[in-house]
Structures are given as C-alpha cells and as structure tokens.
Amino acid sequence: MPTLHPILYKGRFEATLGIHITYEDAIGVIIYCLNWFDKSCGGSLHAMSSCGSLEGKIVAVTGGGSGIGLCYTLLAQTHKAKRVIIADICLSERAQEAIDADETIVYLKCDVTKWEDLQALIDFSRDSFGDVPDIYVASAGVLEPSHSNFWHDPEPLEANGYSQLDVNVNHPIKLTRLAIRGLLGSNKLGVVVLLGSTAGYAKQYMAPIYSASKHAITGFTKSMGDAEKHQRVRVIAVCPGIVSTPQWTTGSPAERFQLLEGIAITPEHVAEAIHNAVTEPAKYPGGTVLEILASGSRVLPEWGYRDALAENGHGHPDGMPAIPEWSVELHLEMMKQINVDKSYLSISSPGTYLSRGDTALARKLTRYVNDYAGELKQSYPDRFGFFASLALEDIEGSIEEIPHAFDNLNADAVAVMTNFHGCYLGHKKFDPIFNELNRRYAVVFMHPTTPCLSTGLHATPLTNFPNPMFEFLFDSARAVMNLFMSGTVSRCPNIKWIVPHCGGALPPLINRFSSIAPIVGTTGVDVNLSPKWVKEQLNTRFHFDTAGFAFPEMMKGLLEYVTIDRILYGSDFPFTNLKYVEILSDQHDQKLLDVVSEEEDVEKVNQKNAMALFAKKERSTLS
C-alpha cells in the first residue's frame, strides 16, 4: 500500500502521498471508507439501479423490521417476490404499515442470536408457504452498543463474550449454515446476502469489535465462494459505507452526519445494491464482496496493494515504521481541514516495481492502481486528478501503459521513482519511455526512493534512520542531475518535470555538477551542460513542490535558482499524518511570505502555478 503525492488547490492544488482508512472518534461515529491500496483497488465504479424480477421467490430478511432490511423487504415486494418474511425482534411503525398493506410481507418474531429462532424461520417458511426461502438477507446488526463495546465492560460482567459478535458474526454464519442445509436436495439455487461494511477491511480504533465483526463477514464470504459450485448456494456480501439510518439523523449524531454530506448513502441505495447482487449471478458470483459508497459500487478483488507490499518485502517501506493508511473520505477531510479544492494523487515509494525481475507483478500492480485512480478521478472530477504510475524497469510494459493511462484513463501526468534498482532516471535504457512521454507533451512527477546499487542491494549505510529523513533528498538530486547530464532533458524538450521536497539536495549542487562535469571530460555528458543552461531549463520546464519541511532554508536555497512561478504546494499526506499536515499548512503561508514578501506569490504557490501547469495537459492524449 503506497501513498499519494499531492498538488493541491487552496484553494490549493496539491500532490499527495496517501492510503488511509480512519474513524471519527465520538460515540462510535465511524467513517467507513474505501481503502485505496489496501483491498479495494480494482473493479469498476457504477451507479446502482435495481433490475430483475423475484417472481415466485420466497425471501427471508433478518433485521427486516427497520433500516436497510426493511428497505430491501419493500423492494423485494415491489419486484414480485412470492413472500417476504421479516425476521426481527420487533417492528418499526413503517414495517407494520407495510405488513398491514400487503399480505406478501409477513412477520416472524426472531432473536437472530439463537439457533432455534433461525431454524424456526426456515420451518415457518416451509410450513406456511410450502418451501424453504430461496433468498436469505442477513441485515440484522448492531454498531458498538454500550452493553457490548470494547471500551466498556460487558453488561453483565459475567457475560460469556460480547453480544455484538453474536448478532454481527454468529447470526449470519448460522443463517448461512441453515440456508445450505435447508436447500440441500431441493434442486433450488439459493442466495445468501450478508451485510458487511467497509469497516470490514479497515482499522477502527473507536469501534474495534464492530470492525472485527465486519472483517469476519468479508473473510467468511470469500471462504464460502465455492458453495455456489458444491451446494448451489451463492454467498455474497454487500458492504456499505456510512448509511443514513436513524442513528445518524436524530439527536447528537445528526450534527456529525452533516459533516458527511456527500459521503453517506441511503438505506434504499443499499437495498438496490442487494437486489442487483441477488438478481445478477453472472456479475456477482459466490464469494463476491461488493462495496457500496456514495461515489458508486465496486467489487473488492482478492488481492490489493498492501498484500503486494507485504508479500514482496516492503512491509516497512524505505525503513518507515509502517505503511500509512488512506481513504477517499479521510483525504477529503484533510482537504477540507486545510482548505484544498483539488488534489492530484500518485503512488509513492516503493512504487509498483516491487521485486526485481518480476515484470508480471509489476504490470499487474501498475494497471491495478492506475485503473483505480482513473475511476476515482471520474467519480470526483472536481476534487481529484492523478499521476499514473509507471514501472520504468519494465520497458515494454511501461510503453504499453502510457497510452492506457492517457487515452483511456485521462491521467494528468505520470509518476516514476528516482531510481529503479540502481538505474536512475536518464539511464539510456529508459530512452524509449521518455521519447514516448516527450511525444505526448507529458508531465512527469518523480518521487524519491531508497538509493540502490546496480546489483540490487540497498546503498543506505545509516540503516538506523528511515530513508525519507535524508536519503530521499539526495536521491532526488541524483535523478535530476542524471537527467541533465545524460541528455534526456535536451532530447525531450516537451516534458515538464515535477520534483518534490523543494528539489531535495539539488539546489546547492546546481553550479557544481553543471560546471565540473564538462571540465573533467566525463564521456556521454550533454554538450549543452552549463550553469546558465541548467538554470534556464529549471525555470521553464521544472516545478518543485513544498512537501515536507520546506521552510525556511530549503525554500530560500531553491529560490536562488528558480522563480516563484515554479513552486507548487504539497502536503506529503499521509506519510505526514493529518495532525502535522494541519500544523504545517497553518504555518505554510506565513513562512512563505517571510521568504517572498508578496501575497500574490503565495497565491501562485497555492493555486495558480498548478493550474497553469495542467491547463494544457490535453496534448498528452495525442495518438
């Protein structure tokens, strides 16, 4: 799982590093969100619209007395279900009205934590309607009640476990078992829909039991994928984000719900997703985990970026203590907190070429994250742009990915690492890639990574410090210097370059490398190389972001060589966590004013420079 490097709009424009899933801490108010690199990359966003008849089908809905369950009950009745059985401990007024209005809907009092009550549901259907249910929807669930909450002692204290787990985990597992048993030998094709949550692949510190219960639903559903083949029962899960049920719209939570406008979805929206999953078996086979967010729905794949990192030795990327998490919702919240209108996102180190020689993995992972980012931009066109990842070490794969990124996904730029297993940007083997990027007038964002010898060994002697602390700054300088000295900058005049962290260690070395290289007679050095020419290129074709600790020294040093028009705002989120992003953002404008003196210059950095950079991006889509 990587990060996103920003170029924000304030507005700011930003380029950001990110992967976050989080919670909002207060009486269990939780932001259930899409984990970009963790588990939800891939699939395709699409709007939900219910279709498909349930004519002749018997439907059983636990928790159908209110909320999502009731909405699905009403939808199933609308789609001509033979009978819909509400199995719940009690009924809402709306549910009672529905039962009174249409004999299709019936009620059976049911405590879903008890085997005997769930078995009674199966028996009731067989005795009353001549057959067991065809469709089972396990919508009964609870969210961190005070009597079964990790942060409170169980009530009563002698309770044998947490009742929340009985409702959220044991009940759907029991119902699935009973459904399979009841359907055996019936020659019917059964469907079991379990109600999960995006908390099922997230960390939720304020609600760990709830999160664990939804993790269980995700894992159980995937494990039951083969039941469709062996038992003719299709087990699937629907995982919504925040749903605007009464707990969000009454009392104190309503105030917090206001903060989530545009993120929350309605119970009706989830009910439509359940109906689509039930009636479209080819699209949603057994084992499917379907995520439902305000921006659309997506099938969660079995494999994600975090898995790829862990499986290939990058659990602590570049010596960092952990991989920060990221989500669309948290990123939008960050943007709101620091007054950012638009973010340009990209993968951070170690990128998508994780294992030397494994081009198959690199291609799979590169396409995976780029497709997701393209969908994100399509879903939030006013809030997000993105830089498509390229695994340069795979020359053929990168050349194939460029047209897909620009022509199919509408990428705003490409993102590359400063070196790929010891080969730095500017190495002659990368020439075909940069020739194509030059032909497309592309913007290229480079992100520093761990210095690496050509043998593949890491070249970081101070291993007790994380490499982003200072090695990244030197690696950026190496990459930029090699682009100049190798002739890549001369040969590719149409490429615009973005260098993070105020150029890293580059500024004090500009005169040195551009003066000494021609003097010592190094072969292969660009004949144009001189301090004057390098500065001209830096001021016409390079941009630098302010991510990290840019003030005052790094910014002052950079502005000795480039004008303020070349500077872009950057946050380094989420490797710089939200707390410190806010602190640095609060200080950013004043510290910038201390360097440049003019308010107009601050506005350029925060917004105008990035807008100008991407204004003519459309040329990159030339075929």
- State the Cα–Cα distance between residues 538 and 602, nearest whole angstrom: 20
Q: What is the pLDDT of residue 28?
A: 29
**Banded pLDDT at 245 (limits 50, 70, 90):** low
**Where do the H-state alpha helices sit in 231-318?**
246-249, 251-259, 267-279, 305-311
Give residue 447's pLDDT. Answer: 87
As a whole number, mean pLDDT of residues 151-173 equals 81
Other Cβ atoms less than 10 A from the Cβ of 496: the count is 20
Report the amino acid identity of residue 544.
F
- 199-208, 389-398, 531-540: segment of lowest average pLDDT: 199-208
Q: Which of 3-12, 180-189, 438-447 has the lowest mean pLDDT?
A: 3-12
Q: List the alpha helices (DSSP H) in 197-250.
A: 208-223, 227-230, 246-249
Cα→Cα distances 511→497, 502, 506, 517, Å: 19, 17, 10, 10
Is the bond into 350 cis (omega within 30 degrees of 0)?
yes
Domains of the chain: 58-149+160-281 (3.40.50.720), 305-614 (3.20.20.140)
At residue 16, does pLDDT exceed 80? no
Per-residue confidence (pLDDT) for residue 334, from 0 to 100: 86
Tens-place pLDDT, residues 294-343: 655 555 555 566 677 667 666 555 545 455 677 777 788 888 888 889 99
Mean pLDDT for the stretch of residues 265-271:
91
Query: What was the pLDDT predicted at 173?
Result: 97
Secondary structure (DSSP) of 90-102: S--HHHHHHHHH-
Mean pLDDT throughout 404-425? 91
- Amino acid, single-letter form, for residue 519: I
Considering only 3-17, 54-68, 340-354, 375-389, which range has the smallest mean pLDDT? 3-17
Are 570 and 547 contacting, i.e. CB atoms less than 8 angstroms apart? yes
Please enumerate in sequence order all residues whose Cβ is within 8 A of that of 559, keeping only pairs 6 or more positions apart, or say none.
567, 595, 596
CB 362 within 8 A of CB 352: yes
Q: What percent of the chain has pLDDT over 70?
A: 76
pTM higher than 0.75: no
d(CA 573, CA 582): 10
Residue 18 has pLDDT above 80, yes or no: no
